[in-house]
Amino acid sequence: MNEVNSDNWKELNYNVDSLWIINERDKSGKHSNFYHGNFIPQIPNQLIRRYTAPGDLVMELFAGSGTTLFECESLGRPYIGYDINAEVIDYVNNTMAATRWMWYSMLNCDVTDSEDFHNKTRQGLSQLNKANADFLIAHPPYLDIVKFSDDPRDLSNISDLDLFLSKLKEAFTNGLSYLKKGGYFAVVMGDIYKNSEVVPLAFYTMDLIKRNFNVKLKGIVVKNIEGNRGKLGALNIWKYRAMKSDYFLFKHEYIFVFKKMF
Ligand SMILES: C[S@@+](CC[C@H](N)C(=O)[O-])C[C@H]1O[C@@H](n2cnc3c(N)ncnc32)[C@H](O)[C@@H]1O
């Protein structure tokens, strides 16, 4: 972690509130927002600045379109990311080619497959001359609510909650085995509706981590899901449908922060 002292605390300016209202997506630099289901760059930006120092290694399960990687490049943190979707990895590598920043490894890998994960991680670590990760972040699919690919190993193709959670546990076991003791682990997750009721997927995920790993829960941050003026018409249709029926519109997701104690 960066050391905070009376001289630098204002400049570091971490958001230490448990409620994050961020209304504008950062679209600067390489961030393009083309990938449906990506998170906003301000999430990894805050977490990386708070939980790592320059030169520390950031590891990301379910890396997607490179949002965290692009922040790592700007902030000078080496990076290893994993995704099952080869197309999105090609996109990220092509985008990265523009600046020729070499301190990263984007791995095409099923993060629930221990053998594949360990083989590729060993390669990635040696390429970056690192022994372990200083910070771990994961933004998994929210069950099958947004489908990312047709690959049956893609967690977004699982509709059964228990199977999904067991796969998440495998992924977290793999990722946490490379996080240094005392390092921080952040998970971004949302709740969903299924069969006419709320499935508190985020809380199930938090509970899964607390029950299965020796970690301390350091934060539950509620983050707004940002509005998008272009989608105002669609939002009105959703509002109308919600008012006609008995449900609420999701306007938030969660960021859970854990500290690894083993
Ligand atoms: C919610 S998205 C992550 C988006 C990312 N935060 C971004 O900003 O682009 C989840 C990602 O998990 C990937 N994924 C799903 N199942 C996976 C698996 N078994 N192993 C590795 N990646 C997987 C999907 O391909 C998708 O890119």
pLDDT value at position 101?
Answer: 97
pLDDT in tens, 68-89: 999 999 999 999 999 999 999 9
Nearest protein CA to atom 25 of ligand 1, as residue: 85
Tell me what pLDDT residue 227 has.
63
CA of residue 40 to ligand 1 center, whole Å: 14
Residue with tokens 């018409």: 233
Atom index in ligand 1 nearest the CA of residue 154 equals 16
Q: What is the mean pLDDT of residues 256-262?
A: 98
Ligand 1 atom closest to residue 60's alpha carbon, by position in its atom list: 6
| Ligand 1 geometric centre to CA of 30 (Å) | 18
Pocket residue to mutate for ligand 1, from 143, 155, 159, most atoms within 8 A of Cβ: 155
* Confidence (pLDDT) at 2: 76
CA distance 50 to 14: 7
Please give the distance, rounded to the nearest whole angstrom, from the Cα atom of residue 60 to the centre of ligand 1: 10
Between 12-26, 205-219, 220-234, the lowest mean confidence (pLDDT) is in 220-234
The pLDDT, as a whole number, for residue 125 is 98
pTM over 0.85: yes
| CA-proximal residue: ligand 1, atom 7 (nearest) | 38
What's residue 234's pLDDT? Answer: 78
Confidence of residue 141 (pLDDT cuts 50, 70, 90): very high
Q: Report CA torsion sign: 231, 233, 239, 245.
A: negative
Average pLDDT, the chain: 95
Question: What was the pLDDT predicted at 3?
Answer: 86
**pLDDT tens digits, residue range 155-213?**
999 999 999 999 999 999 999 999 999 999 999 999 999 999 999 999 999 999 999 99
**Is the pLDDT at 145 greater than 60, yes or no?**
yes
Q: Number of C-alpha atoms within 13 angstroms, CB side, residue 129?
A: 3
Dist CA 107 CA 105 (whole Å): 6
Average pLDDT over residues 54-81: 98
Ligand 1 centroid, distance to 142 Cα (angstroms): 10
Structural domains of the chain ordered from first start: 39-260 (3.40.50.150)
Looking at ligand 1, which atom is closest to the CA of residue 142?
A: 1
Region of 14 on the Ramachandran plot (φ > 0 left; ψ -120 to 50 alpha; else beta) = beta
pLDDT value at 229 more than 70: no
What is the model's pLDDT at position 231? 62
Would you say residue 228 has pLDDT above 60? no
